[in-house]
């Protein structure tokens, strides 16, 4: 996960983050529909959020960057073709020649007025599905100094900007299903999950704002003794 989908914490992407207290969960209706379709699809196909995130990470830059829900839709379409639920080109053909509602001539079925709206508060599939507790003891205790290991290939929840940085374990959450394995459908033992605190100076050097720190949840395989 070292490229376009791993922008956080990198100096070239610094800047203010606009915040609108009245912002709605969805800006356009198609966004809520994509959210609903993806949520139902993942549940029905027993796919994990990590698998879906991995699919999004395979998208080219021009599909990934422009729109958050646009990348959801692109990854969904690619997955449906890959898993043979749809034929290659079938979606484009359907868009070019939309079916007509026989009850309302001239009305495309792509946006029927009777379609129920997606509840913006509906929960998406859980990122951490039930997993057996890890049978090995946690390697790190609260207060331990740790270094973030070099990144692995493939999907990971290890942010690139903390690779090689030293922090302090401030919390231990027990164990959880390991996203790196779940993203490729691999069954592995649960891994211990920690909160690690990094000083701003450790991450960004002398240019960091004074007396700042960042808290990040990191799995045990991402860490080593400092």
pLDDT in tens, 17-32: 778 888 888 999 999 9
Taking residues 32-46, what's their average pLDDT? Answer: 92
Taking residues 196-204, what's their average pLDDT? Answer: 95
Range name among 83-87, 94-98, 106-110, 153-157 with the lowest pLDDT average:
106-110
Fold match between 1-127 and 145-225? no
Bigger pLDDT: 186 vs 106: 186
Residues of the chain above pLDDT 70, percent? 79
Handedness of CA 173, 175, 179, 180 (dihedral sign): positive
Cβ–Cβ under 8 Å, residues 141 and 170: no
For residue 10, what pLDDT is reported?
67
Handedness of CA 222, 6, 180, 38 (dihedral sign): positive
Taking residues 70-79, what's their average pLDDT? Answer: 93
pTM of the model: 0.72
What is the residue extent of each domain of the chain?
1-127, 145-225
For residue 106, what pLDDT is reported?
46
The closest alpha carbon to 37, from 149, 128, 116, belongs to: 116
The closest alpha carbon to 58, from 5, 128, 123, 133, belongs to: 5
Q: Is the pLDDT of residue 152 over 90?
A: no
For domain 145-225, which architecture applies? Roll (2.30)
Q: Is the pLDDT of residue 35 over 90?
A: yes
For residue 94, what pLDDT is reported?
84
Alpha carbon distance 192, 177 (integer Å): 9
For residue 141, what pLDDT is reported?
96
Q: Is the pLDDT of residue 6 over 90?
A: no
Residue 108 β-bridge partners: 100
pLDDT digits (tens, 9 = 90+) for 181-193: 888 877 778 899 9
Alpha carbon distance 218, 148 (integer Å): 9
Record: fold of 1-127: Cyclin A; domain 1 (1.10.472)
The closest alpha carbon to 223, from 200, 191, 182, 183, belongs to: 191
The closest alpha carbon to 60, from 73, 49, 74, belongs to: 74
Residues 6+ apart with CB under 8 A from 59: 71, 74, 75, 78
Residues 6+ apart with CB under 8 A from 143: 168, 169, 170
Alpha carbon distance 203, 14 (integer Å): 13
Taking residues 120-137, what's their average pLDDT? Answer: 54
Taking residues 93-118, what's their average pLDDT? Answer: 56
């Amino acid at each position: 996960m070292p490229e376009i989908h791993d922008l956080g914490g990198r100096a070239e992407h610094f800047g203010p983050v606009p915040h609108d207290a009245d912002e709605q969960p969805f800006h356009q209706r198609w966004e809520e529909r994509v959210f609903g379709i993806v949520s139902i699809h993942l549940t029905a196909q027993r796919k994990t959020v990590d698998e879906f995130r991995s699919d999004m990470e395979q998208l080219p830059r021009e599909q990934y960057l422009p729109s958050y829900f646009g990348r959801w839709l692109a990854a969904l379409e690619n997955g449906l073709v890959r898993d043979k639920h749809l034929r290659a080109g079938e979606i484009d053909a359907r868009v070019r020649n939309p079916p007509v509602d026989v009850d309302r001539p001239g009305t495309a079925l792509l946006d029927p007025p009777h379609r129920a709206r997606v509840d913006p508060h509906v929960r998406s599939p859980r990122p951490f599905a039930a997993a057996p507790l890890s049978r090995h003891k946690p390697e790190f205790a609260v207060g331990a100094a740790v270094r973030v290991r070099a990144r692995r290939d493939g999907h990971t929840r290890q942010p690139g900007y903390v690779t090689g940085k030293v922090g302090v374990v401030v919390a231990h959450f027990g164990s959880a299903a390991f996203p790196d394995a779940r993203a490729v459908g691999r069954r592995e033992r649960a891994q211990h999950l920690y909160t690690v605190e990094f000083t701003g100076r450790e991450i960004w050097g002398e240019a960091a704002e004074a007396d700042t720190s960042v808290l990040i949840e990191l799995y045990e395989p991402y860490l080593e003794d400092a």
